[in-house]
Amino acid sequence: MKKTQIQIPTDTWITATWQEYIQTIDDPSYEKAKSYYHNGQFRIEMPPANKQSKDHIVITTIVNLFAMANKD
């Protein structure tokens, strides 16, 4: 079976066979995704990228460094 090289659109229903669905969800890039197959169509839902948590780490680190530098 040929591997799919096309990035599948997420959060939308796509017409496909069961074999195409299985082949798609076996792709490691969809490892954390939720997927559904119903009546010849499938849907992949990707979890949101949590970029905000990285921002919090940077801010927390800056505040901690500032507090340590201004310690009595």
pLDDT digits (tens, 9 = 90+) for 9-29: 777 899 999 999 999 999 998
- The closest of 14, 34, 16, 17 to 25, measured between CA atoms, is 34
Residue 39's pLDDT is: 94
Confidence band of 1 (pLDDT split at 50, 70, 90): very low
Enter the pTM of the model: 0.56
**Quick check: helix, strand or coil at residue 18?**
helix
DSSP string, 20-69: HHHHHHTSGGGTT-EEEEETTEEEEEPPPP-HHHHHHHHHHHHHHHHHHH
For residues 36 and 66, which has the higher predicted lDDT (pLDDT)? Answer: 36
Mean pLDDT for the chain overall: 82
Residue 54's pLDDT is: 64
Q: Which residue ranges make up each domain of the chain? A: 14-69
CB 11 within 8 A of CB 45: yes
